[in-house]
Structure 1
Amino acid sequence: MTLSYDISGDGPTVVLLHSSVCDRRMWDPQLAPLHKAGYRVVRCDFRGFGETPVAYGPFSDAEDVCALLDHLRLDRFALIGSSHGGEVAIEVAALRPAAVTSLALLCAAMPGHMPGSALSAYTRRKKTLLAAGDIPGAVELSLTTWLGPLADDGVRSQVRDMQRHAYEVQRAAEYTSTAAGVDLAWITAPCLVVSGAHDMADFREIAGRLPGQVERARHLELPWAGHFPSLERPDEVSEVLIGFLNETRPARS
Protein backbone atom coordinates (compact mmCIF):
# COMPACT_ATOMS: atom_id res chain seq x y z
CA MET A 1 0.00 0.00 0.00
CA THR A 2 1.28 3.47 -0.89
CA LEU A 3 0.41 6.25 1.53
CA SER A 4 -1.22 9.41 0.22
CA TYR A 5 1.50 12.00 -0.23
CA ASP A 6 2.58 15.17 -2.01
CA ILE A 7 5.94 16.45 -3.22
CA SER A 8 6.82 20.09 -3.80
CA GLY A 9 9.88 22.27 -4.22
CA ASP A 10 13.39 21.52 -5.45
CA GLY A 11 16.64 20.61 -3.74
CA PRO A 12 17.60 18.12 -1.03
CA THR A 13 14.58 16.16 0.24
CA VAL A 14 12.92 16.73 3.61
CA VAL A 15 10.25 14.24 4.72
CA LEU A 16 7.60 15.57 7.11
CA LEU A 17 5.72 13.13 9.39
CA HIS A 18 2.58 14.27 11.19
CA SER A 19 1.22 13.64 14.68
CA SER A 20 -1.63 11.28 15.56
CA VAL A 21 -3.90 14.28 16.19
CA CYS A 22 -3.33 15.87 12.77
CA ASP A 23 -2.54 14.82 9.22
CA ARG A 24 -0.05 16.12 6.66
CA ARG A 25 -1.87 19.46 6.52
CA MET A 26 -0.27 20.34 9.86
CA TRP A 27 2.89 21.17 7.89
CA ASP A 28 1.22 23.78 5.67
CA PRO A 29 2.99 26.68 7.47
CA GLN A 30 6.41 25.10 6.87
CA LEU A 31 6.05 24.53 3.11
CA ALA A 32 6.82 28.02 1.81
CA PRO A 33 9.81 28.58 4.16
CA LEU A 34 11.32 25.20 3.25
CA HIS A 35 10.83 25.84 -0.46
CA LYS A 36 12.35 29.30 -0.17
CA ALA A 37 15.32 27.82 1.68
CA GLY A 38 15.92 25.44 -1.25
CA TYR A 39 14.42 22.15 -0.09
CA ARG A 40 12.11 19.64 -1.71
CA VAL A 41 9.36 18.53 0.68
CA VAL A 42 7.60 15.17 0.89
CA ARG A 43 4.53 14.90 3.13
CA CYS A 44 2.41 11.80 3.67
CA ASP A 45 -0.70 10.75 5.59
CA PHE A 46 -0.45 7.69 7.82
CA ARG A 47 -3.15 5.04 7.56
CA GLY A 48 -6.47 6.39 8.81
CA PHE A 49 -5.40 10.02 8.50
CA GLY A 50 -6.02 12.63 5.82
CA GLU A 51 -6.40 10.96 2.44
CA THR A 52 -5.01 7.53 3.39
CA PRO A 53 -7.60 4.81 4.14
CA VAL A 54 -7.65 2.80 7.35
CA ALA A 55 -5.89 -0.55 7.64
CA TYR A 56 -7.68 -3.88 7.62
CA GLY A 57 -4.62 -5.88 8.63
CA PRO A 58 -1.47 -5.53 10.75
CA PHE A 59 0.86 -2.72 9.72
CA SER A 60 3.67 -0.45 10.85
CA ASP A 61 3.70 3.29 10.11
CA ALA A 62 7.50 3.18 9.90
CA GLU A 63 7.46 0.32 7.42
CA ASP A 64 4.79 2.16 5.40
CA VAL A 65 7.02 5.24 5.27
CA CYS A 66 10.01 3.15 4.20
CA ALA A 67 7.89 1.59 1.44
CA LEU A 68 6.88 5.08 0.27
CA LEU A 69 10.50 6.23 0.25
CA ASP A 70 11.41 3.18 -1.84
CA HIS A 71 8.50 3.89 -4.20
CA LEU A 72 9.82 7.46 -4.65
CA ARG A 73 13.40 6.15 -5.02
CA LEU A 74 14.68 8.42 -2.27
CA ASP A 75 18.07 7.30 -0.97
CA ARG A 76 19.04 10.50 0.92
CA PHE A 77 16.63 12.60 2.95
CA ALA A 78 16.12 14.52 6.19
CA LEU A 79 13.29 13.55 8.53
CA ILE A 80 11.13 15.91 10.59
CA GLY A 81 8.46 14.38 12.82
CA SER A 82 5.89 15.76 15.24
CA SER A 83 4.66 13.71 18.23
CA HIS A 84 3.75 10.24 16.86
CA GLY A 85 5.41 11.32 13.62
CA GLY A 86 8.56 11.84 15.66
CA GLU A 87 8.33 8.28 16.93
CA VAL A 88 7.96 7.06 13.36
CA ALA A 89 10.90 9.23 12.30
CA ILE A 90 13.03 7.63 15.04
CA GLU A 91 12.14 4.17 13.73
CA VAL A 92 12.85 5.11 10.11
CA ALA A 93 16.18 6.72 11.07
CA ALA A 94 17.17 3.53 12.86
CA LEU A 95 16.04 1.29 9.99
CA ARG A 96 17.69 3.44 7.28
CA PRO A 97 20.73 5.02 8.97
CA ALA A 98 22.71 5.43 5.76
CA ALA A 99 19.86 7.31 4.09
CA VAL A 100 18.90 9.81 6.81
CA THR A 101 20.96 13.00 6.66
CA SER A 102 19.36 14.63 9.70
CA LEU A 103 16.54 14.04 12.14
CA ALA A 104 14.40 16.74 13.79
CA LEU A 105 11.90 15.69 16.46
CA LEU A 106 9.17 18.05 17.67
CA CYS A 107 7.64 16.94 20.99
CA ALA A 108 8.20 13.38 19.85
CA ALA A 109 6.87 10.15 21.22
CA MET A 110 9.39 7.33 21.56
CA PRO A 111 9.24 3.59 20.82
CA GLY A 112 8.76 1.60 23.99
CA HIS A 113 7.89 4.59 26.20
CA MET A 114 5.72 3.69 29.19
CA PRO A 115 3.09 6.43 29.61
CA GLY A 116 2.94 8.43 32.81
CA SER A 117 -0.19 9.16 34.82
CA ALA A 118 -1.34 12.21 32.84
CA LEU A 119 -0.92 10.55 29.44
CA SER A 120 -2.62 7.37 30.68
CA ALA A 121 -5.54 9.39 32.04
CA TYR A 122 -5.89 11.21 28.71
CA THR A 123 -5.89 7.93 26.79
CA ARG A 124 -8.53 6.39 29.08
CA ARG A 125 -10.79 9.42 28.76
CA LYS A 126 -10.38 9.51 24.98
CA LYS A 127 -11.26 5.82 24.65
CA THR A 128 -14.33 6.29 26.86
CA LEU A 129 -15.59 9.18 24.73
CA LEU A 130 -14.97 7.36 21.45
CA ALA A 131 -16.59 4.16 22.74
CA ALA A 132 -19.69 6.23 23.55
CA GLY A 133 -19.67 7.72 20.05
CA ASP A 134 -18.88 11.18 21.38
CA ILE A 135 -16.50 12.29 18.64
CA PRO A 136 -17.02 16.03 19.37
CA GLY A 137 -16.11 15.43 23.00
CA ALA A 138 -13.00 13.45 22.08
CA VAL A 139 -11.95 16.18 19.64
CA GLU A 140 -12.30 18.92 22.25
CA LEU A 141 -10.35 16.78 24.74
CA SER A 142 -7.50 16.66 22.22
CA LEU A 143 -7.52 20.43 21.76
CA THR A 144 -7.56 21.07 25.50
CA THR A 145 -4.76 18.57 26.09
CA TRP A 146 -2.39 19.32 23.24
CA LEU A 147 -2.63 22.95 22.19
CA GLY A 148 -0.45 25.44 24.06
CA PRO A 149 -1.35 28.96 25.19
CA LEU A 150 -0.20 30.56 21.92
CA ALA A 151 -2.51 28.53 19.69
CA ASP A 152 -4.95 31.01 18.14
CA ASP A 153 -8.48 30.38 16.89
CA GLY A 154 -7.25 29.56 13.38
CA VAL A 155 -4.89 26.87 14.68
CA ARG A 156 -7.60 25.46 16.93
CA SER A 157 -10.00 25.27 14.00
CA GLN A 158 -7.39 23.56 11.81
CA VAL A 159 -6.48 20.97 14.46
CA ARG A 160 -10.16 20.41 15.27
CA ASP A 161 -10.86 19.60 11.60
CA MET A 162 -7.90 17.21 11.27
CA GLN A 163 -8.66 15.38 14.53
CA ARG A 164 -12.37 15.06 13.78
CA HIS A 165 -11.62 13.63 10.33
CA ALA A 166 -9.20 11.09 11.81
CA TYR A 167 -11.69 9.90 14.43
CA GLU A 168 -14.47 9.60 11.88
CA VAL A 169 -12.34 7.63 9.43
CA GLN A 170 -10.82 5.41 12.11
CA ARG A 171 -14.19 4.16 13.30
CA ALA A 172 -13.85 1.57 10.53
CA ALA A 173 -10.31 0.57 11.54
CA GLU A 174 -9.54 -2.89 12.86
CA TYR A 175 -5.83 -2.39 13.55
CA THR A 176 -3.46 0.23 14.88
CA SER A 177 0.17 0.67 13.98
CA THR A 178 2.73 -1.52 15.72
CA ALA A 179 6.30 -0.47 16.51
CA ALA A 180 8.91 -1.51 13.98
CA GLY A 181 11.30 -2.77 16.68
CA VAL A 182 14.50 -0.72 16.61
CA ASP A 183 17.55 0.14 18.70
CA LEU A 184 18.19 3.88 19.14
CA ALA A 185 21.90 3.13 18.91
CA TRP A 186 21.35 2.40 15.21
CA ILE A 187 20.65 6.09 14.55
CA THR A 188 23.70 7.86 13.12
CA ALA A 189 22.19 11.11 11.82
CA PRO A 190 22.56 14.44 13.65
CA CYS A 191 19.39 14.90 15.69
CA LEU A 192 17.62 17.99 17.01
CA VAL A 193 15.14 17.22 19.80
CA VAL A 194 12.64 20.03 20.43
CA SER A 195 10.31 20.14 23.43
CA GLY A 196 7.68 22.58 24.67
CA ALA A 197 7.65 23.86 28.24
CA HIS A 198 3.82 23.70 28.27
CA ASP A 199 3.67 20.15 26.88
CA MET A 200 2.71 17.05 28.84
CA ALA A 201 5.45 15.71 31.12
CA ASP A 202 5.90 12.50 29.09
CA PHE A 203 7.11 14.37 26.03
CA ARG A 204 9.37 16.71 27.96
CA GLU A 205 10.94 13.71 29.67
CA ILE A 206 11.44 11.90 26.35
CA ALA A 207 13.14 14.99 24.91
CA GLY A 208 15.43 15.20 27.91
CA ARG A 209 16.43 11.53 27.64
CA LEU A 210 17.02 11.27 23.90
CA PRO A 211 20.43 13.05 23.84
CA GLY A 212 21.71 10.32 26.15
CA GLN A 213 20.36 7.59 23.86
CA VAL A 214 21.07 8.97 20.38
CA GLU A 215 24.75 9.71 19.91
CA ARG A 216 24.50 12.93 17.87
CA ALA A 217 21.37 14.40 19.47
CA ARG A 218 20.92 17.75 21.18
CA HIS A 219 17.91 19.15 23.02
CA LEU A 220 16.18 22.52 22.58
CA GLU A 221 13.27 23.47 24.85
CA LEU A 222 10.93 26.24 23.69
CA PRO A 223 9.64 28.06 26.79
CA TRP A 224 6.44 29.25 25.07
CA ALA A 225 5.42 26.02 23.33
CA GLY A 226 2.81 23.38 23.91
CA HIS A 227 2.70 20.09 22.00
CA PHE A 228 2.53 21.61 18.51
CA PRO A 229 5.13 24.39 18.28
CA SER A 230 5.18 24.23 14.46
CA LEU A 231 1.55 25.40 14.49
CA GLU A 232 1.74 27.72 17.48
CA ARG A 233 4.69 29.82 16.24
CA PRO A 234 5.27 28.50 12.72
CA ASP A 235 7.73 31.17 11.55
CA GLU A 236 10.00 30.71 14.56
CA VAL A 237 9.95 26.93 14.31
CA SER A 238 10.56 27.01 10.56
CA GLU A 239 13.63 29.14 11.20
CA VAL A 240 14.90 26.66 13.79
CA LEU A 241 14.33 23.70 11.47
CA ILE A 242 15.94 25.33 8.44
CA GLY A 243 18.94 26.37 10.51
CA PHE A 244 19.38 22.77 11.62
CA LEU A 245 18.93 21.41 8.10
CA ASN A 246 21.51 23.86 6.78
CA GLU A 247 24.04 22.54 9.31
CA THR A 248 23.72 19.00 8.05
CA ARG A 249 22.74 19.19 4.38
CA PRO A 250 22.66 22.74 2.99
CA ALA A 251 20.27 23.34 0.13
CA ARG A 252 21.65 24.12 -3.26
CA SER A 253 21.88 27.86 -3.99
Structure 2
Amino acid sequence: MADKHVDEISGVETTGHEWDGIRELNNPMPRWWVYTFYATIVWAVGYMIVYPAVPLLTDATKGVLGYSSRAEVSAELASAKAAQAGNIEKIASSSLADIMADPQLQHFAVSGGASAFKVNCAQCHGSGAAGSAGFPNLNDDDWLWGGKPEEIYQTIAHGIRYNGDDDTRVSEMPSFAEILQPEEIKQTAAYVVSLTGTPSDASMVEPGKALFEANCASCHGADAKGNREFGAPNLADALWLNGSSEQAIVAQMKAPKHGVMPAWLPRLGDTTVKQLAIFVHSLGGGE
Protein backbone atom coordinates (compact mmCIF):
# COMPACT_ATOMS: atom_id res chain seq x y z
CA MET A 1 0.00 0.00 0.00
CA ALA A 2 1.44 3.38 -1.01
CA ASP A 3 2.33 5.83 1.74
CA LYS A 4 -0.12 8.66 2.28
CA HIS A 5 1.04 12.00 0.95
CA VAL A 6 0.83 15.08 3.16
CA ASP A 7 1.02 18.57 1.69
CA GLU A 8 4.18 20.28 2.99
CA ILE A 9 2.68 23.78 3.16
CA SER A 10 -0.72 23.12 4.72
CA GLY A 11 0.09 19.86 6.48
CA VAL A 12 -3.15 18.37 5.09
CA GLU A 13 -3.25 14.87 3.68
CA THR A 14 -4.02 14.73 -0.07
CA THR A 15 -6.56 12.49 -1.78
CA GLY A 16 -4.05 10.92 -4.16
CA HIS A 17 -5.48 12.77 -7.17
CA GLU A 18 -2.95 14.79 -9.13
CA TRP A 19 -3.26 16.93 -12.26
CA ASP A 20 -0.18 18.49 -13.83
CA GLY A 21 1.67 18.33 -10.54
CA ILE A 22 -1.24 19.82 -8.57
CA ARG A 23 -2.49 17.63 -5.72
CA GLU A 24 -6.00 17.69 -4.25
CA LEU A 25 -6.19 18.33 -0.52
CA ASN A 26 -8.43 16.04 1.50
CA ASN A 27 -10.05 18.77 3.60
CA PRO A 28 -13.19 17.73 5.52
CA MET A 29 -16.52 19.28 4.57
CA PRO A 30 -17.58 22.32 6.64
CA ARG A 31 -19.50 21.37 9.76
CA TRP A 32 -22.55 23.45 8.80
CA TRP A 33 -22.76 21.62 5.45
CA VAL A 34 -22.50 18.19 7.10
CA TYR A 35 -25.17 19.07 9.67
CA THR A 36 -27.47 20.37 6.92
CA PHE A 37 -26.98 17.14 4.98
CA TYR A 38 -27.90 15.07 8.03
CA ALA A 39 -30.96 17.27 8.62
CA THR A 40 -32.22 16.63 5.08
CA ILE A 41 -31.94 12.89 5.69
CA VAL A 42 -33.95 13.19 8.89
CA TRP A 43 -36.51 15.39 7.10
CA ALA A 44 -36.86 12.86 4.26
CA VAL A 45 -37.42 9.98 6.68
CA GLY A 46 -39.98 12.00 8.60
CA TYR A 47 -41.76 12.97 5.37
CA MET A 48 -41.96 9.32 4.31
CA ILE A 49 -43.59 8.49 7.63
CA VAL A 50 -46.08 11.36 7.66
CA TYR A 51 -47.09 11.64 3.95
CA PRO A 52 -47.70 9.18 1.09
CA ALA A 53 -44.24 8.54 -0.31
CA VAL A 54 -43.10 4.99 -0.99
CA PRO A 55 -44.52 3.43 -4.18
CA LEU A 56 -45.82 -0.13 -3.90
CA LEU A 57 -46.96 -2.56 -6.60
CA THR A 58 -50.50 -1.22 -6.90
CA ASP A 59 -50.55 1.72 -4.50
CA ALA A 60 -48.29 3.73 -2.22
CA THR A 61 -47.80 4.11 1.51
CA LYS A 62 -50.58 6.26 2.99
CA GLY A 63 -48.61 8.12 5.64
CA VAL A 64 -49.75 8.58 9.25
CA LEU A 65 -51.69 11.76 8.34
CA GLY A 66 -53.64 10.03 5.58
CA TYR A 67 -53.16 13.07 3.33
CA SER A 68 -54.33 12.85 -0.31
CA SER A 69 -53.68 15.55 -2.92
CA ARG A 70 -56.49 14.12 -5.03
CA ALA A 71 -58.91 14.49 -2.13
CA GLU A 72 -57.73 18.07 -1.59
CA VAL A 73 -58.29 18.94 -5.26
CA SER A 74 -61.72 17.29 -5.19
CA ALA A 75 -62.64 19.33 -2.12
CA GLU A 76 -61.48 22.56 -3.76
CA LEU A 77 -63.46 21.78 -6.92
CA ALA A 78 -66.54 20.98 -4.88
CA SER A 79 -66.13 24.25 -3.00
CA ALA A 80 -65.75 26.19 -6.27
CA LYS A 81 -68.84 24.55 -7.74
CA ALA A 82 -70.82 25.35 -4.62
CA ALA A 83 -69.72 29.00 -4.83
CA GLN A 84 -70.71 29.15 -8.49
CA ALA A 85 -73.99 27.30 -8.10
CA GLY A 86 -76.08 30.41 -7.50
CA ASN A 87 -74.81 32.20 -10.60
CA ILE A 88 -75.06 29.06 -12.73
CA GLU A 89 -78.69 28.63 -11.71
CA LYS A 90 -79.42 32.29 -12.51
CA ILE A 91 -77.87 31.96 -15.96
CA ALA A 92 -79.80 28.76 -16.61
CA SER A 93 -83.12 30.40 -15.76
CA SER A 94 -82.46 33.84 -17.28
CA SER A 95 -82.65 35.15 -20.81
CA LEU A 96 -79.59 36.58 -22.49
CA ALA A 97 -81.05 40.07 -22.13
CA ASP A 98 -81.55 39.61 -18.38
CA ILE A 99 -77.99 38.30 -17.97
CA MET A 100 -76.60 41.27 -19.90
CA ALA A 101 -78.62 43.65 -17.71
CA ASP A 102 -77.03 42.29 -14.51
CA PRO A 103 -73.38 43.49 -14.33
CA GLN A 104 -72.34 40.87 -11.78
CA LEU A 105 -74.01 38.03 -13.66
CA GLN A 106 -72.68 39.29 -16.99
CA HIS A 107 -69.12 39.36 -15.60
CA PHE A 108 -69.54 35.81 -14.33
CA ALA A 109 -70.88 34.67 -17.73
CA VAL A 110 -67.99 36.30 -19.59
CA SER A 111 -65.47 34.54 -17.33
CA GLY A 112 -67.19 31.18 -17.74
CA GLY A 113 -67.51 31.69 -21.49
CA ALA A 114 -63.80 32.55 -21.78
CA SER A 115 -62.89 29.25 -20.12
CA ALA A 116 -65.28 27.27 -22.32
CA PHE A 117 -63.94 29.07 -25.40
CA LYS A 118 -60.34 28.05 -24.68
CA VAL A 119 -61.36 24.40 -24.31
CA ASN A 120 -63.81 24.10 -27.21
CA CYS A 121 -63.34 26.95 -29.69
CA ALA A 122 -59.70 28.05 -29.66
CA GLN A 123 -58.65 25.14 -31.87
CA CYS A 124 -60.32 26.85 -34.85
CA HIS A 125 -60.75 30.50 -33.86
CA GLY A 126 -57.43 30.81 -32.02
CA SER A 127 -56.74 31.40 -28.32
CA GLY A 128 -57.36 35.13 -28.82
CA ALA A 129 -60.39 34.55 -31.10
CA ALA A 130 -58.56 36.27 -33.97
CA GLY A 131 -59.32 33.39 -36.34
CA SER A 132 -57.30 32.53 -39.45
CA ALA A 133 -57.92 31.87 -43.15
CA GLY A 134 -61.32 30.16 -43.33
CA PHE A 135 -62.03 30.68 -39.61
CA PRO A 136 -63.77 33.96 -38.70
CA ASN A 137 -62.16 36.60 -36.51
CA LEU A 138 -64.53 37.13 -33.59
CA ASN A 139 -62.88 40.38 -32.46
CA ASP A 140 -64.06 42.56 -35.35
CA ASP A 141 -67.42 43.97 -36.43
CA ASP A 142 -67.88 41.63 -39.39
CA TRP A 143 -70.58 39.05 -38.70
CA LEU A 144 -71.86 36.48 -41.17
CA TRP A 145 -75.00 35.69 -39.19
CA GLY A 146 -75.30 38.68 -36.86
CA GLY A 147 -73.48 39.92 -33.78
CA LYS A 148 -76.33 40.32 -31.31
CA PRO A 149 -76.15 37.97 -28.30
CA GLU A 150 -79.24 36.06 -29.47
CA GLU A 151 -77.79 35.63 -32.96
CA ILE A 152 -74.45 34.49 -31.61
CA TYR A 153 -76.27 32.03 -29.35
CA GLN A 154 -78.15 30.60 -32.33
CA THR A 155 -74.92 30.11 -34.27
CA ILE A 156 -73.09 28.46 -31.37
CA ALA A 157 -76.03 26.32 -30.31
CA HIS A 158 -76.89 24.89 -33.73
CA GLY A 159 -73.69 25.30 -35.70
CA ILE A 160 -73.15 26.08 -39.36
CA ARG A 161 -73.88 23.51 -42.08
CA TYR A 162 -73.89 20.86 -39.36
CA ASN A 163 -75.60 17.63 -40.31
CA GLY A 164 -77.88 16.33 -37.60
CA ASP A 165 -79.30 19.68 -36.46
CA ASP A 166 -82.38 20.92 -38.29
CA ASP A 167 -81.84 24.47 -36.98
CA THR A 168 -78.24 24.78 -38.14
CA ARG A 169 -77.19 27.83 -40.14
CA VAL A 170 -77.15 27.01 -43.84
CA SER A 171 -75.82 28.96 -46.81
CA GLU A 172 -74.50 27.74 -50.13
CA MET A 173 -72.42 29.67 -52.63
CA PRO A 174 -72.60 28.03 -56.06
CA SER A 175 -69.58 27.26 -58.19
CA PHE A 176 -69.52 30.01 -60.80
CA ALA A 177 -67.19 27.93 -62.93
CA GLU A 178 -70.42 26.30 -64.12
CA ILE A 179 -72.22 29.63 -64.61
CA LEU A 180 -69.69 32.18 -65.89
CA GLN A 181 -66.81 32.07 -68.33
CA PRO A 182 -63.27 32.27 -66.88
CA GLU A 183 -62.87 35.84 -68.14
CA GLU A 184 -66.18 36.83 -66.56
CA ILE A 185 -65.08 35.40 -63.22
CA LYS A 186 -61.91 37.50 -63.43
CA GLN A 187 -63.94 40.59 -64.22
CA THR A 188 -66.24 39.98 -61.26
CA ALA A 189 -63.23 39.48 -58.99
CA ALA A 190 -61.72 42.73 -60.27
CA TYR A 191 -64.92 44.58 -59.36
CA VAL A 192 -64.99 43.05 -55.85
CA VAL A 193 -61.35 44.04 -55.32
CA SER A 194 -62.10 47.58 -56.49
CA LEU A 195 -64.51 48.01 -53.57
CA THR A 196 -61.64 48.13 -51.08
CA GLY A 197 -58.47 48.20 -53.16
CA THR A 198 -56.91 48.47 -56.58
CA PRO A 199 -57.58 45.75 -59.18
CA SER A 200 -54.83 44.58 -61.51
CA ASP A 201 -56.80 45.74 -64.57
CA ALA A 202 -59.14 48.70 -64.10
CA SER A 203 -60.83 48.04 -67.43
CA MET A 204 -62.44 44.89 -65.98
CA VAL A 205 -64.22 46.73 -63.15
CA GLU A 206 -67.27 48.01 -65.07
CA PRO A 207 -68.11 44.71 -66.81
CA GLY A 208 -67.41 43.00 -63.49
CA LYS A 209 -69.91 45.26 -61.75
CA ALA A 210 -72.61 44.30 -64.24
CA LEU A 211 -71.83 40.62 -63.73
CA PHE A 212 -71.89 41.07 -59.95
CA GLU A 213 -75.30 42.74 -60.04
CA ALA A 214 -76.67 39.95 -62.23
CA ASN A 215 -75.19 36.99 -60.36
CA CYS A 216 -74.08 37.97 -56.85
CA ALA A 217 -76.25 40.84 -55.62
CA SER A 218 -79.15 38.56 -54.70
CA CYS A 219 -77.09 37.30 -51.75
CA HIS A 220 -74.37 39.90 -51.17
CA GLY A 221 -76.63 42.88 -51.89
CA ALA A 222 -76.48 45.51 -54.60
CA ASP A 223 -73.98 47.44 -52.47
CA ALA A 224 -71.99 44.22 -51.78
CA LYS A 225 -72.39 44.71 -48.04
CA GLY A 226 -73.71 41.22 -47.50
CA ASN A 227 -76.89 39.72 -46.13
CA ARG A 228 -76.89 38.08 -42.72
CA GLU A 229 -80.09 36.22 -43.48
CA PHE A 230 -78.10 34.15 -45.97
CA GLY A 231 -74.76 34.28 -44.15
CA ALA A 232 -73.40 36.20 -47.16
CA PRO A 233 -70.22 38.15 -46.26
CA ASN A 234 -69.80 41.88 -46.60
CA LEU A 235 -67.49 42.35 -49.60
CA ALA A 236 -67.27 46.12 -49.31
CA ASP A 237 -65.00 46.22 -46.27
CA ALA A 238 -61.39 45.22 -45.68
CA LEU A 239 -62.24 42.09 -43.67
CA TRP A 240 -61.87 38.79 -45.50
CA LEU A 241 -62.49 35.18 -44.59
CA ASN A 242 -60.74 33.35 -47.42
CA GLY A 243 -58.38 35.98 -48.80
CA SER A 244 -58.71 39.38 -50.50
CA SER A 245 -56.48 39.00 -53.57
CA GLU A 246 -58.00 38.62 -57.03
CA GLN A 247 -56.56 35.11 -57.20
CA ALA A 248 -58.22 34.18 -53.89
CA ILE A 249 -61.56 35.63 -54.99
CA VAL A 250 -61.39 33.82 -58.33
CA ALA A 251 -60.59 30.58 -56.49
CA GLN A 252 -63.56 31.07 -54.15
CA MET A 253 -65.89 31.75 -57.08
CA LYS A 254 -64.75 28.67 -58.94
CA ALA A 255 -64.65 26.26 -55.99
CA PRO A 256 -66.35 27.82 -52.94
CA LYS A 257 -65.13 26.84 -49.50
CA HIS A 258 -67.99 26.11 -47.14
CA GLY A 259 -66.90 25.94 -43.53
CA VAL A 260 -68.60 23.69 -40.99
CA MET A 261 -69.12 24.46 -37.31
CA PRO A 262 -70.56 21.84 -34.96
CA ALA A 263 -73.71 22.36 -32.94
CA TRP A 264 -72.52 22.96 -29.38
CA LEU A 265 -75.86 22.88 -27.57
CA PRO A 266 -76.02 19.05 -27.30
CA ARG A 267 -72.40 18.89 -26.20
CA LEU A 268 -72.15 21.77 -23.74
CA GLY A 269 -75.72 22.48 -22.66
CA ASP A 270 -77.76 25.66 -22.67
CA THR A 271 -76.01 27.35 -19.73
CA THR A 272 -72.51 27.06 -21.19
CA VAL A 273 -73.69 28.12 -24.65
CA LYS A 274 -75.23 31.25 -23.08
CA GLN A 275 -71.91 32.03 -21.42
CA LEU A 276 -70.06 31.48 -24.71
CA ALA A 277 -72.46 33.79 -26.55
CA ILE A 278 -72.00 36.55 -23.99
CA PHE A 279 -68.21 36.10 -24.01
CA VAL A 280 -68.00 36.30 -27.82
CA HIS A 281 -70.28 39.33 -27.74
CA SER A 282 -67.91 40.99 -25.25
CA LEU A 283 -64.87 40.67 -27.52
CA GLY A 284 -65.64 43.95 -29.22
CA GLY A 285 -67.60 42.91 -32.25
CA GLY A 286 -70.99 42.75 -30.57
CA GLU A 287 -73.99 44.89 -31.41
Same fold (TM over 0.5): no
Indicate the structure (1 or 2) with the bigger Cα radius of gyration. Answer: 2
TM-score of the superposed pair, with normalisation by structure 2: 0.23
Structure showing the higher strand proportion among its residues: 1
